[in-house]
Structures are given as C-alpha cells and as structure tokens.
Structure 1
Amino acid sequence: MVKKYVTGAVMALSLFAGAASASTEYTITHQSSGVFGSGNLKQSVKIKNGYSTSTVNAGMFHLTGNNGLGDFLAFCVDLDQYLGNPQKATIAPNLFNSTITNNLSKLFSSVLGGGTLGDVITTSVQAAGLQVAIWEVVEDSNSYWGLNLDRGTFEVESNWAVKSQANSYLSALSGGSLDDYDMTFFASAKNQDLVTANPVPETTPVPVPAAGLMIMSAMGALGLMRRRKKA
C-alpha cells in the first residue's frame, strides 16, 4: 500500500497522553523478549498484495519506545516497508481515511471486547489472524469486493488456520463500536507504519460530598415550598 496522509479522520491519542505529540520523533525498538514476544506470537503466511506475492511473518509486535512511550504491542499497517530495529516514527492521527479508520476501530472493539491486546491475543494464530484482518481492512475497506480475503487488493494464499481466524474477526467487525478503543498510529518515513489500541478508560461518577447532598436537598425542599405557595 502506498502511504496516505489523509486529513479529516480524528484519532484519540490517550494511550500516550502527556508524553505523546504528533510532532515528536520517537525511536522504536524490539522488546528484549523479541519482536514477537517470548510466546513467539507469529505465523508464516503467504499473501498477495496487488501483483506481488510473498511469504511473511504475521503477528503481534512487542515494541518499546523512548520519550515516554515505554513497552507497547502493535501491528503493521504498511506492507510496503520493513520493521526497523530501531526505527524512527511520529504519531500520525490522520494516517488513513475515515472508512479505514472506522473499520479498524470496530475491528479492535469486536475482537478484544473491552480487554487489552496482551490479555486477549495470546496465541500465534490469534496474533497472525488479527494482523491479517488489519491488512485486509487497510487494503480493501474501499474495495468493490469488500473485506474478502479471496478477492481484492489483499489476499491470503496459505495457512488456513490463520485465514480462518482472520475471517472470523472480519465477520464480527460490523458489530464493533467506534467508542471502545483509542488507537495510535505511528508513521515512519523509512520503515513500517504501525497501529496500537487500548481500551477507553471508563469514567467513574464523582461522588457528591455529604454537605453537597444537604444543600441539594434543601434546594429541593425550597422549590417544593414555592410551588405549594403558587398553588
């Protein structure tokens, strides 16, 4: 896929709130446990992207970054370049158009169901299946064929376990929400673009102090007395 920097898609960057900035350049490297983690969460998959066919490792990256990023899990959204170790990247809120962005958001929502990537994606087939589903969303969200791993720009030609898992994820995408996950995109001029996602924190109602309750009660009583006088 040729990289597109499309304006208009609004992305939340709360994963790295306080440390993250769209203008900050980050140095991203593999975690000490390896790029696919100690569980080696990847599978070899033969794919076709446009007119090019290749066998690639599809899985969940275990990465770490400077400037406050720390350790994080991510997936590739750029089939034209390789993951660097290290690689330079900046946060790119508008990396994709709204159709792709919304489909990715619904994909994470339907697959993760409120959990984190680390808690839910625990096997190599799950990791590779989600990576393949992400590639399909990025390449074919605007395709005549829709999200179809047998038709369109992106196709899967081997590893049926991974393909089946990816199809399962894609089939459930329509039931996902746009509000469950904050996604962060990392754009790199010389290496792969990446995406990570984290659950949107639940908002906890702020308790009203006892004194506040008394004031509200008194105001309510006063209002009732006024209504009675008018009557």
Structure 2
Amino acid sequence: MFKRVQSLVDSHEVVYQIADINDLVGSPNASEWFSRLIGRVPTDPNILARMGSLSAREGDDGQAFHYYLEAYRYYQVNMDVISWLGAYFVKNEVYDRAIQFFERASQIQPLEVRWQLMVASCHRRHGDYVQAKRLYEVVHRKYPENMECLRYLVHLCKDAGLVDEANEWFKKIKKLEQRQQEKTDDARSRDENEGIKHGGHAATGQRAVASVSARGGDMMEDELDEPRIAFSEAKPTNNDDDGEIDLPGI
C-alpha cells in the first residue's frame, strides 16, 4: 500500500493536483508542492507562472520576478506573465524594459488600447515627451473617444508650452464629454418613456379590474357573464397613451 501511495506522489499529475488544491484553499503548503513539482518539470511555464503568482501574493517580488521571467522565457504569450513583468519594471522605474513587455502585449492584443497607452506612458515617465506625444496621437487617431489619451495630450502640450495645441485637445475633451452626456440622457429618456408606457397600461388595467370587482359584488348568479363584457369595454384605448412622451496607470 505504501509503495502504491509513493508511486502516486511521484506522478507529476498527482503532485500538480495536490499543489493546486493547496493553493485554492490558501494553504501555506502550496509553495512547497509547486517547488517539488518544478524540481521535476523545471521548464513548465504554467508551473513557473503559478510559483510567480504565489511569491507575489506572499510579497516576495524578487522571487516572483525570477519565476515570471523564467515562465516568459519558455512561453512568451501568457498575458498575465507579460503584464506582471511590465508592471514590475514600471514600479522599479526601468521604463525601457517595461516598454518591451507592453509592446509585446500590444502585439498579442492589438485591439486592446491599454497596452498602447502603457507604452506611451512609459515614454512619458522616462522623460521622452516627444515620443510619448507622438504615440498618444497615434492612439487618438485609432480611438478618438478615448478620454484618457486626450487628457494626457492636454498635459503634455501644456507642459511643453504648446498652449494653443493644448486648448485644441481640451476642446475635443469637452465635445466628447458633451456627446457622452447626450448619449446618457437619451438612454435615460428612453428608459423613462418605456416605464411611463408600461406603467400607464398597468394603471389602466388595474382600474378596469377594480371596476369589474366592484360591480361583480352586486350581481346575481345569472349575471356572471356580464363582467366579461364590462372588462372588454374597459380595455385601454389609444387616448391612454398621451403620457408617453465610467496606470492605464500602474
């Protein structure tokens, strides 16, 4: 029996399941099991990423960086790994390295605007304002309704003394805010109209039912068909519808 149990523990799949369960329940033994697993499959990017995540949650950024970087070395399309490494370099102000990871993320998810904004943000933080401004302008052409991009353009132009250009970007912000407010007002108005419409019909129906109930109490048994006539006559008419009228900042 002992040999059978020992053979099961020697299985990579079994060790992974034990490590995974320990991680899910928040057991401190999770790291030990994943470490044991890495000793047997040292190049598995998923296991390395899990160890990186565990280390990060324990507050050991140095160890987390080691495991995440190893995970990226073996598998370069894991977005969780890429975004963590990019954020790590931003946190440590190593912006040229952060740019590499955010550019990689942008290649993998070209329609996700936040990676492009992060690249521009890294250039801005690094002091390369000309390149940052150029990248923000590129983002604006692709996503003209991205408010964050417009605000950075205003700040960059103001800091560079480009007052007229800053004012032009600011005007675009106000126009965008107005359009967004109009959309919100239109949606609210439609919702209110729908509520009035359905509420009006419901009130009319309730009045009709109340009328039938009041009359029904005075009826004899041979007059039971009459409430149906009264109910039919009390259906809402068209006149009842007169009332229808939110690093990327790290």
**For this structure pair, what is the TM-score category when the shorter chain's length is used for normalisation?**
under 0.3
TM-score by length of 1: 0.23
User: Going by fraction, where is strand more abundant, 1 or 2?
Assistant: 1
- Max Rg structure: 2
User: Going by fraction, where is helix more abundant, 1 or 2?
Assistant: 2
Q: Return the structure number with greater relative CO, CA threshold 8 A, min gap 6.
A: 1
TM-score by length of 2: 0.22
